[in-house]
Chain A
Amino acid sequence: SAVISQKPSRDICQRGTSLTIQCQVDSQVTMMFWYRQQPGQSLTLIATANQGSEATYESGFVIDKFPISRPNLTFSTLTVSNMSPEDSSIYLCSVEDRGQGAGYTFGSGTRLTVV
């Protein structure tokens, strides 16, 4: 399965600032997924990022708040903009393993605390 390097692993940010999270995959993948995991809760899909096109956002998430870049088939970034304490969460990127139904590989996550 793919190996994902995600950084930063954690950060403490001031409200009103922005943080960009990076994910690097060791193989070319068509789609990358960005999730949010709020404290003590399950994962919620933020958006799906395809190379060469705009990301597709899920209900409740907008591009102005969570801009995503996908410059090539091995890399993506998620920015959390104009942060507030409610954005404190773990953010994870994910790719599908080879073969439909194979499951997904996740990055190790970015633990964000907004103060």
Chain B
Amino acid sequence: GNSVTQMEGPVTLSEEAFLTINCTYTATGYPSLFWYVQYPGEGLQLLLKATKADDKGSNKGFEATYRKETTSFHLEKGSVQVSDSAVYFCASTGGFKTIFGAGTRLFVKA
């Protein structure tokens, strides 16, 4: 069946450090891929998405590229801020089903 695997957290970085959160997926067909962010005490918000191979999603300085050959959708940001501290979920949608990764908690220290 379909699955999403993302790197375990927590990830702790200093402000302005480079961020990578790995995400790989298994799927039949070609799913759409997403990153969601959950700030403390809130629901999930869509951060970025990509709907086909080689698409790059970007938002608020975050980027992720849909890599079909490696079945990956790694999240990157060149310079993190304290306000980026949150839990990040990678997700794959095929048909009307969305599969979420386990989530990666990011702490950014000032």
Contact = CB atoms under 8 A, between A and B. Distances in A.
Interface of A: 1, 6, 31, 33, 41-43, 45, 48, 92, 96-97, 100-109, 111
A109 B101 contact: no
A11 to B, nearest CB: 15
A48 B98 contact: no
Contacts of A1: 46
A109 B44 CA distance: 9
B61 interface: no
Contacts of B41: 111
A96 B96 contact: yes
B41, B42, B44, B98 — which one has the most chain A CB atoms within 10 A of its CB? Answer: B44
A42 B101 contact: yes
A23 to B, nearest CB: 11
Contacts of A104: 34, 46, 93, 98
The DSSP consensus for interface residues of chain B is strand
B49 A103 contact: yes
Interface of B: 32, 34, 36, 41-46, 49, 51, 89, 93, 96-98, 100-103
Contact of B89 (A31, A42, A45, A108): A42
Contact of A31 (B32, B34, B96): B96
7 contacts: A42-B100, A42-B101, A42-B102, A101-B49, A103-B34, A108-B43, A109-B42
A102 B50 CA distance: 9
A104 B32 CA distance: 11
B98 A106 contact: no
B88 to A, nearest CB: 11
A41 B43 contact: no
A102 B34 CA distance: 9
Nearest to A100: B32
A48 B97 CA distance: 10
